[in-house]
Chain A
Amino acid sequence: MKRYILLIIGLAMTAIYLFPLYWMYLTALKSSTEIFQYPPTFWPADTQWNFLEVWKSRGMGRYIWNSLLIAVGVTILATTLGTGCAYVLSRVRNVWIEIALFAILMMQVLPSSLMVTPIFVMFNQIGLLASPRIAVILAQTAKVLPLYIVLCRATFVQVPRELEEAALVDGSSRIGAFFHIMLPLARNGILVTSVLIFLQSFGEYVYARSLIAKNELQTATVGLQTFMGPNANDWNGIMTYAAIYVTPILIVFMLLQRRIVSGLTAGALK
């Protein structure tokens, strides 16, 4: 009996916590007059399906495409650079490795909003702002790479060292052992971590806002910010935009939830 009371309390707390999400979807489905009713309604009286309209009128296709491009670029760059580094950090132990690891942990915490000033000036001087999406990819990779390395390292630490040694004795080179033994065994961790940094980069705002000048190269976050402008009152349009944008993120997350949580906690607390 007690367990069911707890379940009901738990459900209630979850519902309260997730209310903002419900409100987003609800507003998206309401008509533009219904959202300004007072007192507000908690179920749409006249359900509107204006997703396609908002998608077209706000040019969401282009924004989402830019966000995807940046997220894919960051993920590829970070996994390429980070996986090997995470592996070495999990295997070799000496003073230099300790220093490198410490430096990486420090770089993990640098806020984008503070790093963007020097990065903007530096990129401007070397002409990188002429291809602003690449500039954002480079900057965002520097932001997520330390996190990727730290989380991936936690995965590699769990692969027993003897497996790699056995491969070496069996006749494999270091490179072969890395690709045939270590990578397949750390595959899950690598995948989950990549998804995590992909989702983070898909929602990136600071660098896109600061480094990209042209609207047609902007990302979905900046598109939403523009939509919200100073005197916005098309709230059901804005919430529709938000719903279109976050629903895929939420789906991916729910599918991988358990793994993301365990990977994240392993990295943060070890």
Chain B
Amino acid sequence: MLQIEIDHLNKHYGGFHALKDINISIKQGSFVALVGPSGCGKSTLLRTLAGLEKTSSGDVRIAGQSVIGKPPRERDVAMVFQSYALYPHMDVEHNMNYSMRLRRRPKEEIAERTRTAAETLGLGNLLDRLPKALSGGQRQRVAMGRAIVRNPKVFLFDEPLSNLDAALRVHMRGEIRKLHERLNATSVYVTHDQVEAMTMADHVVVMRAGVVEQQGSPLDLYDRPANRFVAGFIGSPAMNFLPAAAASNGALVLDNDGTQQIGLNRGMTHGRQLWIGMRPEHLSLKPCVNDMAIDATVTGIESTGSMTFVVLEVASQPVVLAHGGRPETRKGDQVRLHISLDDLHLFDRETELAA
């Protein structure tokens, strides 16, 4: 069953076209991440779902009903803000049950549900504290608690973890995901961090400049990026791109270095300008199955201990290679770089679409 349908949605701010013809369908119970660089429109889209922004054209349906023109309070959605937006003049308990008090729920029900939510989030002993007496992580939990007590149709998250330190962030990722599964809720999660999107969501929507560039399951986006932007945005470290052109025999010739060819014939027309996309983890200094080798120079080595990133220069372009373990080469070495042809991505240089 579809919980949220966004149908040809457009949004203008004066002369600025903030959202361009957005179409997204979200199934009941799924976890959707909206991801993209800042200013891409992901937060605007989320706020549109909440009813905090007006739309210019198109339709938004929640549980089958159009919510265009409806104020936030008639949409039955809950939202966790980046700044948490806890009411500074209310203690934790009143912050959490404000929505139920507004709806004039019976006292017993309010008390019961506040208690359950507080226990779920480990806030039981903090109920009478004011937000200013809480740590960052506790505030984040109260913000979550405020959303879950209501049992809403949809949860909206606006970069809820970006104010936490790195370790807590990783921990909370798991917590939110578990909570989502326990409540069998529909969640829409905005983030600029593609790792967060990939690890938490069932369905990832990549946006840029108000346009949905691609949507699908995380691995779908990783394996089959629709264009160069998505390819470069998803995956860490980022995909390498080398400019190349198709030769008359169909092989790819690297620019600036006519001597190096990659014998991969995908029937490209002669002279077509392309980007070759290679993920760092699909490159190797050792031969592998169905590969192809080219000349490269090692220009730098960065090691994290568990992983090694080798920075190479191929046809005057920098290329990063990632492999587990310790480096076996040194700076300045001339090496053969092995490329797994099955994992190679090609993009048209003019349209930037996958070729």
Contacts and interface: CB of A to CB of B under 8 A. Distances in A.
Touching in the complex, A and B, CB below 8 A? yes
Contacts of A171: 72-73, 99, 102-103, 150
Contacts of B98: 167, 170, 172
A152 to B, nearest CB: 18
Interface in B286-333: none
Contact of A166 (B51, B79, B89, B150): B79
B87 A169 contact: no
Given A169-B78, A172-B102, A176-B102, A163 B87 contact: yes
Interface string B49-73: 0111000000000000000000111
B85 A162 contact: yes
A181 B77 contact: no
B79 A169 contact: yes
Contacts of B89: 184-185
B83 interface: yes
Interface string B40-54: 000000010011100
Interface residues of B, number: 25
B146 interface: yes
B81 interface: yes
A12 B50 CA distance: 61
Contacts of A168: 51-52, 71-73
Contact of B50 (A163, A169, A174): A169
A171 B78 CA distance: 9
A174 B81 CA distance: 19
A171 to B, nearest CB: 4
A170 B71 CA distance: 11
Given A168-B51, A169-B52, A160 B71 contact: no
Interface in A146-175: 160, 162-163, 165-174
Query: Taking each of B85, B86, B99, which has the highest tally of chain A beta carbons within 10 Å of its own beta carbon?
Result: B85
Contacts, number: 62
B106 interface: no
A181 B52 CA distance: 16
B139 to A, nearest CB: 13
B83 A170 contact: no
A10 B339 CA distance: 79
Contacts of B86: 166
A172 B74 CA distance: 9
Given A171-B102, A171-B103, A172-B102, A166 B73 contact: no
A170 B85 CA distance: 11
B83 A162 contact: yes
B77 to A, nearest CB: 6
Interface string A60-76: 00000000000000000
Contacts of A176: 102
Given A165-B81, A168-B72, A185 B88 contact: yes
A166 B87 contact: yes
A160 B89 CA distance: 13
B52 A165 contact: yes
Contacts of B71: 168, 173-174
Contacts of B72: 165, 168-169, 171
A162 B81 contact: yes
Contacts of A166: 79, 81, 85-87, 146
Contacts of B87: 163, 166-167, 181
Contacts of A184: 89
A185 B86 CA distance: 12
B236 to A, nearest CB: 30
B305 to A, nearest CB: 40
A170 B51 contact: no
A165 B73 contact: no
A185 B77 CA distance: 25
Given A160-B83, A160-B85, A170 B52 contact: no
B88 to A, nearest CB: 7
A174 B47 CA distance: 16
B85 A163 contact: yes
A160 B87 CA distance: 10
A41 B289 CA distance: 109
B52 A172 contact: no
Interface string B141-168: 0000010001000001000000000000
Query: Taking each of B51, B72, B102, B150, which has the highest tally of chain A beta carbons within 10 Å of its own beta carbon?
Result: B72
Interface of B: 47, 50-52, 71-73, 77-79, 81-83, 85-89, 98-99, 102-103, 146, 150, 156
Given A168-B73, A170-B146, A184-B89, 17 more contacts: A160-B83, A162-B82, A163-B88, A165-B52, A165-B81, A165-B85, A168-B52, A168-B72, A169-B52, A170-B98, A170-B99, A170-B150, A171-B99, A171-B150, A173-B73, A185-B88, A185-B89
The 6 closest A-B pairs by CB, nearest first: A162-B85, A170-B99, A166-B85, A168-B72, A171-B73, A171-B102
13 contacts: A160-B83, A162-B82, A165-B81, A166-B86, A168-B72, A168-B73, A169-B52, A169-B79, A170-B78, A170-B99, A170-B102, A171-B103, A173-B71
